[in-house]
Structure 1
Amino acid sequence: MSKVAFVFPGQGSQFVGMGRSLAEQSAAARDVFERADEALGFSLSSLCFEGPEEELRLTVNTQPAILTTSVAVLAALREKRADVTPDYVAGHSLGEYSALVAAGAMAFADAVKVVRARGQFMEEAVPAGQGAMAAVLGMERQALQDVCEAVTASGHPVQPANMNGPGQIVISGTAEGVRLAGEQAKAAGAKRVLPLNVSGPFHSSLMQPAAEKLKAVLTDVDVKDARVPVVANVSARPETAAGAIVDNLVKQVAAPVLWEDSVRWMADQGVTTFVEIGPGKVLAGLIKKIAPAGTTIVSVQDMESLHELLNGGVLC
């Protein structure tokens, strides 16, 4: 029997206006935005709906904004089809928190406060300008790993951070480490190296201070066993036990996101339909390059795309 996975986007999928039409048309979605405003003590909903973009782009705002929009889309879906339960959930980096809310492992009000703190800790971990990230296109994973290890050995830490798909790997580390690794990757045959407009070296060992702070915050959060298996970024394997979920969230901040591995694992388990829930279509684009031919991939971020999903016979 074919299986369904709900997947949730991470940082980089945000845009001004996200969730606005949904909140106007769905009471359940509107309630999620109102609960976020109440939990955080400021109008996150206004930031999502109206901007300004430079404020929304700040990691400390982006993380709760994407989480809230994703959970609002999920709430609107469940408002229409309360019986729909995926076989697996997964999220890219920050998106793992949306997946945990979807799986009943973390209350939304807790999750939105945790990711706000997570964003702050990640901003503080490395002084501005000292860290960097870049997307390396057209290079095998092991070859890029070798380049990063050689540059790190020369005193400039850099490592693969996001295994996004075949020939698309993001590296992260010191600004000099990323620059040197990018140059050496191109010399070794990479097609392109694209610097990313991010505020820090996320998912690298330089984020360890943020991981330690996050661990302290999570000790006060009531994390439950997941009702649906959550395919973890750090292992690309399913997890339902509360203790292991917390451990994975702490590790995840300073460890690579194994997205390609996660999608392949779900496909191997019989997942034939991936539903991306949240702003943008980043994950759908990545999954198309990973999943087998014939896989159904749908992105839902507003009422129009939600109606297409519900009327298209994808969710039986």
Structure 2
Amino acid sequence: MKIAFMFPGQGAQTVGMGKDLYEHYEEVRKVYEEASKIAGKDIAKLTFESSLEELSKTENAQLAIATMSIGILELLKKENIVADIAVGLSLGEYPALMYGGYIRFEDGINLLRHRGYFMGNLVPKEKYAMAAIIGLESSKIEEVCAKIREEGVFVVPANYNYSAQTVISGEEEGIEKAIEMLKESGAKKAIKLQTSGPFHTSKLEEARKAYKKELEKVSFQEGNIKVIKNLDGTIYKASDDMQEILANHIVSPVRFDKAIKLMEEEGIDTFVEIGPGKALSGFIKKEKKDANVFNIDNIENLTKVIEALKQLQ
């Protein structure tokens, strides 16, 4: 058995996520307490007691999701369940890098504090939106986006989730136009997402520059577990310029589709999504019908998954 740990991105947040784990496990509470000290805000209170609107602000959602994921990792560590490879979606790359030993916990939380703030606030003032396009190959989506850009309206692919799902990002007008054109081109579904910024596009250049300065203050470590980059779907190497990669990550599309292919090449047969929601598990199930796919976002799932993984070992 070869295991991948997968960490979700923004959009997976729900009020109260992980509360049962927080109440039940001292290890999880400790992670929240430490993360809250570093971030300068009470992440438990924010996650369990605020409104969805407040929690969904980029500067809050990134910290809340990552803290929940890291809390669950502590429980898996206690059970001696380890991964052969780790991957995240967008902000999920940070818990993956922390798990892989590339970034210290304190640095990771501090980076997400800045990343979330810059991505949420250093954004041009136009109205932006994102939409998931399902059932159409990415080359067709790229073509339609290019046509709309020729008309002077900004829209680009931002997340290549798996072969049949790509998320587009851009001006609201461009997204509406793209949805219409892509449905005409044969897309099965086009769903507007609850994430509002033009994430993973060139519109976040100002955020990238500001964030790069924060990244330059961090000393990265040599990792001990393989971690896949969102940027190009390859594994991080010791020679990689982490500051450059993680800064460019903000303005570049996420290639989760390539990460899935790479995990297949690496012989991964068991996938565990760690944190809120089941989005990444869903992508894997679409591409790999015979894989063992699990997600851990509450005590019930945690117990079942630990039991199942021990039987598979």
TM-score, with length taken from structure 2: 0.94
Structure 2 matches for 1:120-135, cutoff 5 A?
120-135=117-132
The answer on whether the counterparts of 1:73 and 1:302 sit within 8 Å (CA) in structure 2 is no
Instruction: Give SS of 2:241's match.
Output: helix
1:107 aligns with 2:104: yes
Q: 1:38 to 1:314 in 2, by over 3 A?
A: farther
Show the counterpart of 1:255: 252
Instruction: Give SS of 2:12's match.
Output: coil
Show the counterpart of 1:48: 47
Gaps of 5+ in 1: none
Q: Matches of 1:194 and 1:24 in 2, distance apart?
A: 35
Which one of 82, 85, 93 corresponds to residue 85 of structure 1?
82
Gaps of 5+ in 2: none
Show the counterpart of 1:284: 281
The answer on whether the counterparts of 1:105 and 1:242 sit within 8 Å (CA) in structure 2 is no
Q: Matches of 2:13 and 2:160 in 1, distance apart?
A: 20
Q: CA deviation at 1:49?
A: 2.1
Q: Matches of 2:60 and 2:204 in 1, distance apart?
A: 18
1:282-314 CA distance string (max 9 Å, x none): 1111110122x3210011122222221221235
Show the counterpart of 2:37: 38
**Sequence identity (%):** 38
The answer on whether the counterparts of 2:162 and 2:260 sit within 8 Å (CA) in structure 1 is no
Show the counterpart of 1:301: 297
Structure 2 matches for 1:52-71, cutoff 5 A?
52-71=51-70
The answer on whether the counterparts of 2:10 and 2:195 sit within 8 Å (CA) in structure 1 is no
Structure 2 matches for 1:151-230, cutoff 5 A?
151-230=148-227
Q: 1:256 to 1:314 in 2, by over 3 A?
A: farther
Show the counterpart of 2:144: 147
Q: 1:270 to 1:17 in 2, by over 3 A?
A: same
Q: CA deviation at 1:315?
A: 5.9
The answer on whether the counterparts of 2:9 and 2:88 sit within 8 Å (CA) in structure 1 is yes
Q: Matches of 1:314 and 1:288 in 2, distance apart?
A: 21
Instruction: Give SS of 2:254's match.
Output: coil
Q: CA deviation at 1:124?
A: 2.3
Q: CA deviation at 1:242?
A: 6.8
Q: CA deviation at 1:277?
A: 0.8
TM-score, with length taken from structure 1: 0.94
Instruction: Give SS of 1:156's match.
Output: coil
Aligned residues: 312
Higher alpha-carbon deviation: 185-194 or 266-275: 185-194
Instruction: Give SS of 2:170's match.
Output: strand
Instruction: Give SS of 1:235's match.
Output: coil
CA RMSD across the alignment: 1.6
Q: Matches of 1:127 and 1:231 in 2, distance apart?
A: 30
Instruction: Give SS of 1:86's match.
Output: coil
